Structure 1
Amino acid sequence: MKGISGRETRGLPLGALIPCVDNTGAKMISLIDVKALHTVAKRIPAAGVGDMFIASVKKGTPEMRSKVVYAVVVRQRRPYRRADGTMIEFEDNAAVLVTPDGEVRGSEIKGPVAREAAERWPRIAAISSTIV
């Protein structure tokens, strides 16, 4: 995992239901906690593009349901500013399941992946079809 420059807008708060866009069998995951989040005391944790978080699988195959997994946000609907000053937003939220070390659990990703997530997680960039 590489560090990211600048401040990003975190658009997915605790408890958010996020579609999983890989082929691991999970369809919908719920955000439990954000890894490596250093923030103000008693502030509700939120995840943004490129953040790793802990999630619970809410919908999916029977062997995946109710498992606690790690995931990375690859798209978010809330607009955020890039380093060059442009604002970007996607039409949906999306996440990809990963191992605690950052290895992708699936073998393909449906839809585009944000450049911030691809730069921070090289294994996600390797299997993504489109990087925006």
Structure 2
Amino acid sequence: MPEKLQVLGSRKGLTPGLQHYTTVTVADNSGAKEAVIIGIYGYKGVLRRIPFANIADLVMVSVRKGTPEVRKQKFRAVIVRQRMPYRRPDGTWISFEDNAVVIINPDGTPKGTEIRGPIAKEAAERWPKVASIATMVI
């Protein structure tokens, strides 16, 4: 029996993990400490429905706390941890202690040089450059 292909743009059947204006911690050493999700790339939804994102999705964040160079700036980021439990294809459920993102450059490389805490296996598979600087992949 052939395996089901996962379409990256499809949201059907996924748990709404993070949504607009969710406060997230920044897991890298780019200078940002706390950010707010202000946009979700690739989301096609219904009028007035609040967009949501999951692990390994690309989002636009606005940095609220951190060094003066990165505060009040907008960056692209990848979600590497989420509190809401989600189901993996093997049937296990996983959730983390916090919601966290890693800030990336427009070419997909991380802005920082190290990542604090674990990152999800789904994020490591989809973003190999982020996985290369991670200390722990779960």
For the superposition of Structure 1 and Structure 2, which TM-score range results when normalised by the shorter chain? over 0.9
**CA displacement 1:57-94 (0-9 Å, x = unmatched):** 00000111100111110000000000111111011111
2:116 is paired with a residue whose SS is coil
Which of 97, 110, 114 is the aligned partner of 2:120? Answer: 114
Q: Deviations over 1:78-113 (max 9, x none)?
A: 000001111110111111000122111110000000
Aligned residues: 130
Q: Deviations over 1:36-61 (max 9, x none)?
A: 11223321111211011001000000
CA distance in 2, matches of 1:130, 1:8: 24
Root-mean-square deviation (Å): 1.5
Provide TM-score, normalisation by structure 1: 0.92
Where do 5+ consecutive residues of structure 1 fail to align?
none
Q: Which moved more, 1:40-49 or 1:16-25?
A: 40-49
Q: Which residue of 2 aligns with 1:34?
A: 40
Distance 2:26 2:67 in 1: 12
Letter matched to residue 108 of structure 1 = E
Work out which of the two has the higher radius of gyration on C-alpha atoms and give 1 or 2.
Answer: 2
Is structure 2 residue 37 aligned with structure 1 residue 46?
A: no
* 1:87 corresponds to: 93
Match of 2:104 in 1: 98
Distance 1:74 1:131 in 2: 10
SS in 1 for 2:50: coil
CA distance in 2, matches of 1:28, 1:62: 13
Larger relative contact order (C-alpha < 8 A, sep ≥ 6)? 1
Q: Structure 2 unaligned runs (5+)?
A: 1-6
